[in-house]
Structure 1
């Protein structure tokens, strides 16, 4: 059975691809202003409506931000894992997926990353993990700092795994799973929960540092199971609800 026929690209989509190629080819960093509308109309040889549609498409994909006012115009923006997380949240909401399924995805993915980190982590990655765990211990009584370091630990594990694709996917799932981004509950840790998380992170770090892949996987599985049980115990009604989209808002650069 044949699939749907591929449609021809719109002119605005072709221009959008050309703009992306130019951004990357010229090495334009985040915050760089693109040429004026007049200059781009001349360069791409299209009408104003086509160019503006191309810019809106790139803005919707997180590649540009469109500033208003006298000094406004398109500005380069580097896409973030949270952009993928937001898109994933919308898809999950339309599919009616329960928030508990996001935890199940984490439980499948993060132990794999921990095992890969044990095999691939270099000294710089181990130093960063050690610093993160030490900061968690130092700020165990400060929930906001502890929460930030908790998220950083999981990001560092994903980075140390050495798979950019799995790292990006993990960051997106983590963004959806984070209670603050989810917008449903206060994701603050209790004193006891902070101590439990710190203990698991110490165990995970020791296994990664020792190059013990099975141990790192097992420790991450235990950590995530503890976290899931804590969430289910405290927010069972919330975790059974469908994922809800929370739009990302960013302050102007």
Structure 2
């Protein structure tokens, strides 16, 4: 008969098990390594990474693995793949478009409500206006003026909304804060898509918007951060109230049918 120690040992062996291990794909490992080196500045922006065959030789990985890693970096906006005799994987650093793309995917993927978009705008845009009043350049003021001219013109709803986006993005650009600018690009696009309806933007809303934009622009031009914050806050709050009021009326009309 087995002794007590043998029985206890067999019992421990039967209950002690290893969990399944998640082993990363070779392409992910290579992409992570290249990504870190790009972000660290080891590869200069605009220059090509080593050719495919050289990466295969250096890493001892298959050509398929190398190509998959490069595709991962391309999707992440860290390299641009060019074909032809002078082609290759050229390094590019993340910019505001990368931020905007990521935020836009989140907004669309999570089906973020219009009310949430407007609330976020109320939190972010006054900060953009404050910084714009501090750091705006002559070129920034020209962009704001051009957007103001476009938004005041008698045009279609699409023209108005485009000029509206241009102005709000111009304020963010004038802040000279890359994160805020990228975030505002995505936010403005999402709000544009949600308000592309004549019912949201009627004549009174257009008139109020033109006046508010001119007022905020004056504060930015005068280098008055407090006035810029106060006027932008009032503008985005009033715009949100007008849009949500129309949305509520539309919902009621639909439910009554």
Could you say whether these structures have the same fold, taking a TM-score greater than 0.5 normalized by the shorter chain as the test?
A: yes
Q: Which runs of 5+ in 1 are unaligned?
A: 1-6, 240-253
Shift of 1:179: 3.5
Q: Which runs of 5+ in 2 are unaligned?
A: 1-22, 252-257
Match of 1:146 in 2: 160
Distance 1:42 1:237 in 2: 65
Using CA pairs below 8 Å that are at least 6 residues apart, which structure has the higher relative contact order? Answer: 1
Match of 2:32 in 1: 14
**Contact persistence 1:62–1:83 (CA under 8 A):** no
**Contact persistence 1:140–1:195 (CA under 8 A):** no
Aligned residues: 222
SS at match of 2:171: helix
Q: Are positions 1:205 and 2:201 aligned together?
A: no
Match of 2:107 in 1: 89
CA deviations 1:184-223 (Å, max 9, x no partner) are 5634543332222111101111111112222111211121
Distance 1:173 1:66 in 2: 28
Match of 1:46 in 2: 61
Shift of 1:158: 0.9
**Contact persistence 1:12–1:53 (CA under 8 A):** no
Shift of 1:24: 8.2
SS at match of 1:186: coil
**Contact persistence 1:99–1:238 (CA under 8 A):** no
Q: Which moved more, 1:14-23 or 1:49-58?
A: 14-23
1:218 pairs, out of 201, 210, 230, with 230
Distance 1:237 1:76 in 2: 50
Where do 1:169-248 residues align within 5 Å?
Answer: 169-176=183-190, 178-180=191-193, 186-187=196-197, 189-236=201-248
Q: 1:162 to 1:68 in 2, by over 3 A?
A: closer
* TM-score, normalised by the number of residues in structure 2: 0.69
Q: 1:170 to 1:179 in 2, by over 3 A?
A: closer
Q: 1:148 to 1:75 in 2, by over 3 A?
A: farther
**Contact persistence 1:15–1:51 (CA under 8 A):** no
Root-mean-square deviation over aligned CA pairs: 3.7
Shift of 1:236: 3.2
Distance 1:18 1:111 in 2: 34
Shift of 1:28: 1.9
Where do 1:93-104 residues align within 5 Å?
Answer: 93=111, 98-104=113-119
* Structure having the larger proportion of residues in helix: 2
1:118 pairs, out of 127, 133, 143, with 133
Rg (Cα) greater in structure: 2
**Contact persistence 1:140–1:194 (CA under 8 A):** no
Q: 1:195 to 1:140 in 2, by over 3 A?
A: farther
